[in-house]
Structure 1
Amino acid sequence: MPALLDGPRLAPASGGEAKQLVIFLHGYGADGNDLIGLGREWAPLLPDTAFVSPDAPETIPGYFGGRQWFSLSTRSEREWEEGVLSAEPALAAFIEDEARKAGLPLSKVALVGFSQGTMMALQTGLRLPEPVAGIVAFSGHLAGATRLESEIKAKPPVLLLHGSADEVIPVAAIHLARETLAAVGVPVQWQIRPGLGHGIDGQGLLAAGRFLRACFGLD
């Protein structure tokens, strides 16, 4: 049985019922609190959107308070591929359950990942039974790219953002992802942030917010 996930939440800024839902997927060593604040930044663009940022299912031994979607030791392609496969069932169940509880179709749900969370967003969001509204992928990597053509079930629009000076996941990862996604018919946009390391900057945040508005049909 998949692990049960939960984490911090933000209700729509409008005070009404949620018309859309954004699910944040944090990076290695963080938890749900790391990204939930982005929901406040996007509230002017997405006033009727609820946000949830689940804690990854595993704690990291010796890493106080940090969590992981899957273990990292070698940081190899094989480890990433096996890791996303192992963590996918719990995340897929969470996404579908959150949509059901909010009374929303998957077409009104978006995934926003950072780093390891981006790996999970791309792995899971492209294999759900129906497409989500969109996927925002900050500073991540498309794990198991060679498997995608045979496994893809849904083709939501994807926005890839990466810092040119990323010291954790080299910027070359964005090119692998955009080429692989485009080759299987996924609508993909991409943006390299000059001089940015492994993080999210203001311009990337704004681009992502505008992308989500468009994905939700708000423009």
Structure 2
Amino acid sequence: MLDDPRLAPRSGNKATSLVVLLHGYGADGRDLIDLGEYWAPLLPDAAFASPHAPEPLAIAPVGRQWFGYTERDDRERWIGVQSANAALDGFLDAELARLDLPGGRLALVGFSQGTMMALHTGLRRKVAPAGIVGFSGIHVLPPAAGIDAFDAEITSRPPILLIHGDADAVVAPDYLPRAVESLQARGMNVRAHMTRGLGHGIDRTGLTLAGNFLQEVLD
């Protein structure tokens, strides 16, 4: 079972929703948990959890990974999101049960490799999350021969917000329109924002857009 930093609701009340923050390659749950502090005024009754990815980083003595990288291609990413799906899905179930919340009161927020996991696992939940936010990520697709099985696995279609920087040198900005096209083709309601001059990161504009989106879908 994954472990994580957590934040209780700012209001002091019982949580009415859960926002799970999924970090990028080489970071850990502590990297994103401060987003919960930033959004807490908008979501005072939300609990936040930022799980550490299940694997130690393969190329350094510190940090975590949802899956390993060597080739950084579509095939490797597809194998990776599949391998990490069960651990994340189980964590989401356990955290919702701990807070006594239904699956529809869950929102997922990912950064980079965490966005890949948020989209992969979120669209396969038995109960659709309230929404998914993805920063600087990729909607991972299988090889062409596996598209039919891929489509059959999609069980939920939550609203989605994707944010990317047009100066991202780690995950190319072209992945944003590709994600929008593939998700819309599968019946998703997708909003997208490309931030001028932003590299591989999250800026204040993205934080504001994401916070407003989360407030909307969890209201």
Find the partner of 1:195 among 186, 194, 197: 197
Partner SS, residue 41 of structure 2: coil
Q: Say if 2:12 is the partner of 1:18.
A: no
Q: Does 2:168 align with 1:171?
A: no
Specify which of 138, 141, 144 is matched with residue 138 of structure 2: 141
2:188 equivalent in structure 1? 186
Aligned amino acid, residue 35 of structure 1:
L
2:56 matched to which residue of 1? 59
Equivalent position amino acid for 1:153 in 2? T
Deviation, structure 1 residue 128: 0.8
- The answer to whether the 8 A contact 2:137-2:164 is kept is yes
Q: Offset at 1:149?
A: 2.3
Partner of 1:40: 37
| Alignment correspondent of 1:72 | 69
How far residue 65 of structure 1 moved from its aligned partner, in angstroms, is 1.8
1:141, 1:197 → 2: CA distance?
15
Give the AA of the match of 1:10: L
Counterpart residue type for residue 48 of structure 1: D
Q: CA deviation at 1:151?
A: 1.9
Distance 1:68 1:17 in 2: 32
Aligned to 1:195, what secondary structure does the other structure show? Answer: coil
**Identity rate, percent:** 52
Letter in 1 for 2:171: I
- For structure 2, list consecutive stretches of 5 or more residues without a partner in the other structure: none
Unaligned runs of 5+ in 1: none
CA distance in 2, matches of 1:79, 1:62: 16
Q: Output the CA distance in 1 between the equivalents of 2:12 and 2:192.
A: 33
- Structure 1 distance, partners of 2:187, 2:59, is 42
TM-score (norm 1): 0.95
Return 52-61 or 28-37, whichever deviates more: 52-61
2:100 is aligned to 103
- Partner AA of 1:188 in structure 2: V
Count residues in correspondence: 214
The one-letter code matched in structure 1 to 2:54 is P
Amino acid at match of 1:177: A
| Structure 2 letter corresponding to 1:182 | Q
Output the CA distance in 1 between the equivalents of 2:59 and 2:72.
18
Aligned to 1:158: 160
1:61 is displaced (CA, Å) by 3.2
Q: Does 1:127 align with 2:124?
A: yes
Are the counterparts in 1 of residues 135 and 163 from structure 2 also a CA contact under 8 Å? yes
In 2: Cα distance, 1:62 partner to 1:156 partner = 35
Q: Secondary structure at the match of 2:201?
A: coil
Q: Structure 2: which amino acid aligns with 1:52? A: A
Q: Distance in 2 between matches of 1:95 and 1:143?
A: 20
User: RMSD across aligned C-alpha pairs, in angstroms?
Assistant: 1.0
Is the partner of 1:215 in helix, strand or coil?
A: helix
SS at match of 2:32: helix
Query: What is the letter of the counterpart of residue 169 of structure 1?
Result: V
**Residue 24 (structure 2) pairs with residue 27 (structure 1):** yes
